[in-house]
Amino acid sequence: MDSGYRATDASFSGGTLVCNCASNPVKVKVSGDIAHNHACGCTKCWKPAGANFSVVAVAPTDKIEVLENGNKLAVVDPAALIQRHACKECGVHMHGPVEREHPFQGLSFIHPERFEGKGWAQPGFAAFVSSIIESGFDPSKIDEVRSKLRSSELEAYDCLSPGLMDYIATWTAKKSGAMENAITIENTGRIRAKLVAEAANGPVSFQAEKELLEKGVIILPDLFVNAGGVIVSYFEWVKNLTHIPFGLMERRRRERRNAQITSAMESMTGKDFPEHMRDEFLEGGSEIDLVRSGLDDVMRGAYHRMATVLSEHPEIRDFRTAAYYVALKEIGDAYKAIGI
């Protein structure tokens, strides 16, 4: 990094990475351009001797091919996200695919300085800068490093660049269902699920829902699936109004009753109550158990009401419409009951 880079060639289309061995070097072909080239200060990436930073980029894993002496490669840490394949003799990391489910899945980390040819894209930023301290760098000198990086036009970050962090967060949010329109007509074709449960609000677009329903996919709507938070908030409200925790009045009495039942069963049968059930059976029901039980009951009741609507009204064919039917009918009935 200190001695600079050869110019980026816009027409660069890959090449061969070669390890540091004087004889029988490992050779890995990259068929296509690289992306996100950056300097990395982390302790995991391979660095040339004496360097504080590695230079590391990604390429699609299906564009990577081990050409020669692959038998010299071993995975550095099989538990790591990046499966860094290093040459057992010289230690250079030759390729590191990300195979597990992750925003970088399908990409392989490589070190462009190991390309035989030139023209590869220069690093665009510096990542994991503070991590160099973990390798023994003097923390009091870290500001000098940051300034030096910036003067080489490498913005210094302690994780990845904001663009990549946003990409990772977006992937995570979409996966958790915490984003609206995570399923649209752009990606319904790739959905193999038979059941979609909307864990957050509005994850399936209107058009996508139509397509999925036509394909026979069952969609459990957001207003049902993620109602748990609202239900337990209601329990909390009721508890606040009564100024008393759920189960306070009955718990000890129930414990005594359960102990009586246990000893009666033991004396009637002449056998000990099964040890693995004893504690749970004797327990009088803590507040959290009661809240979970109440939540379970409300959710089952709500599901049952939607299912009844679906079976009694053939013109209603999906759970969302059934849920709205139930909700609006209850509001209507309540209005009628008070004469509005």
Ligand X SMILES: N[C@@H](CCC(=O)N[C@@H](CSCO)C(=O)NCC(=O)O)C(=O)O
Q: Binding site, residues?
A: 19, 21, 40, 42, 45, 87, 90
Among 46, 115, 125, 128, indicate the residue that binds ligand X (CB under 6 A): 128
193 binds ligand X (CB under 6 A): no
39 binds Zn ion (CB under 5 A): no
Contact at 8 Å (CB) between 306 and 208?
no
* Residue 18 touches Zn ion, criterion: CB under 5 A: no
Q: Does residue 127 touch ligand X according to CB under 6 A?
A: yes
Site for Zn ion in 80-109 (CB under 5 A): none
Residue 82, binding choice from ligand X, Zn ion, none, Cβ under 5 to 8 Å by partner class: ligand X
Q: What are phi and psi of 110, to 5 degrees?
A: -135, 165
99 binds ligand X (CB under 6 A): no
CB of 141 to ligand X, least distance (A): 17
Q: What tokens does 88 get?
A: 């057992």
Residues 15-44 that bind ligand X (CB under 6 A): 40, 42-44
CA atoms within 13 A on the CB side of 135: 20
User: Which residue type occupies 195?
Assistant: L
- In angstroms, the CA 173 to CA 125 distance is 25
From candidates 1, 26, 34, 82, binder to ligand X by CB under 6 A: 82
**Residues 146 and 140 sit within 8 Å (Cβ to Cβ):** no
Query: By CB under 6 A, is residue 169 in contact with ligand X?
Result: no
Q: Note whether 107 binds ligand X by CB under 6 A.
A: no
Selected from 21, 81, 227, 299, the binder of ligand X by CB under 6 A is 81
Q: Give the active site residues.
A: 40, 42, 45
Q: Does residue 158 interact with ligand X by CB under 6 A? A: no
Burial 37-72 (b: 16+ CB within 10 A, else e): bbbbbbebbbbeeeebbbbbbbbbbeebebeebeeb
- The dihedral sign for the CA sequence 306, 307, 312, 314: positive
Angle at 323 between CA 227 and CA 221, to 5 degrees: 55
Angstrom distance (rounded) from CA 113 to CA 335: 74
Distance CA 274, CA 125 (A): 63
Nearer residue to Zn ion within complex by CB, 45 or 86: 45
Radius of gyration of the chain, Cα coordinates, nearest whole angstrom: 30
For ligand X, which is the closer residue by CB, 81 or 231?
A: 81
Looking at 45, 57, 92, 220, which residue binds Zn ion (CB under 5 A)? Answer: 45
* Residue of 39, 42, 129, 217 interacting with Zn ion (CB under 5 A): 42
**Nearest in space to 116 (alpha carbons), one of 45, 47, 68, 73:** 68
Residues that bind ligand X (CB under 6 A): 40, 42-45, 56, 80-82, 109, 127-128, 131, 134
Residues that bind Zn ion (CB under 5 A): 40, 42, 45
